[in-house]
Amino acid sequence: MAIKFYMTPGSCSTGIHILLEELELPFEVTIVNLPRGDHIRPDYLAINPKATIPTLVRNDGSALTEFQAIAWWLARSHPKANLLPGDADGDARVIEAMDYVVGTLHGQGFARIFTTANFTPNEADHEAVKARGREIVEQGFAIMNDALAGRDYVAGDFSIADAALFYVEF
């Protein structure tokens, strides 16, 4: 059984797609159309009851969800790819950057911009929520820009954190 990857193009799942390609793993893609509600269909909920993307169904049939968990599993399952530095400090720095990108830039910033109604049911507040999202994104990009000063990648070589950073920059 090949790996099955459930994704939405242009979303956080793009980073996992990059990692799968980087590892040259055979995988089957299923597009989950969020605006159409594919993520809340019974067949998808049977795979991922959280109704989120990305989802990776591994060769053993078990599903992994959440960007950080999937990225870490891919890196640990394929250590020769060097997607983690391999030392405690380097690995911690990669996870730190990845969590900041996913949790803050994506989860707090871009989510406010693109899924505003999830942050307030009051339409009168939507512009303020989006403005706060833009502030979070701008501040986050400045922080990551400073962290990357003089470097191409978060931890010297391409890592799982760089795949996360790419999708938010994209």
Class of domain 3-79: alpha beta
Helix%, strand%, coil% for the chain, nearest 5:
60, 10, 30
Q: Cβ distance 15 to 161 under 8 Å?
A: no
Instruction: Please confirm whether the linkage preceding 54 is cis (ω < 30° from 0).
Output: yes
Q: Taking the domain 88-169, which CATH number applies?
A: 1.20.1050.10
- Whether 11 is catalytic is yes
Sole residue written with tokens 């956080």 = 12
For helices 88-100 and 126-147, what crossing angle results, to 10°? 160
Domain extent listing, the chain: 3-79, 88-169
* Mean pLDDT along residues 45-54: 96
Which pLDDT belongs to residue 56?
98
Q: What is the pLDDT of residues 60-112, one digit of tens each?
A: 999 999 999 999 999 999 999 999 999 999 999 999 999 999 999 999 999 99
128 to 6, 31, 113, 138, 140: CA distances (angstroms): 32, 32, 10, 15, 18
Residue 30's beta-bridge partner residues?
6
- pTM for the whole structure: 0.93
* Mean pLDDT along residues 30-49: 96
* Mean pLDDT along residues 116-143: 97
* Mean pLDDT along residues 40-58: 97
- Fold match flag (3-79 vs 88-169): no
Give which of 91, 34, 45, 40 is closest to 68, Cα–Cα: 91
Q: Residues near 50 by Cβ (< 8 Å), separated by ≥ 6?
A: 65
* Mean pLDDT along residues 41-56: 97
Three-point CA angle 112, 114, 120, nearest 5°: 45
CA distance 92 to 80: 18
Which pLDDT belongs to residue 1?
67
Q: What is the pLDDT of residues 138-159, one digit of tens each?
A: 999 999 999 999 999 999 899 9
The active-site residue, picked from 11, 13, 62, 159, is: 11
DSSP 30: E
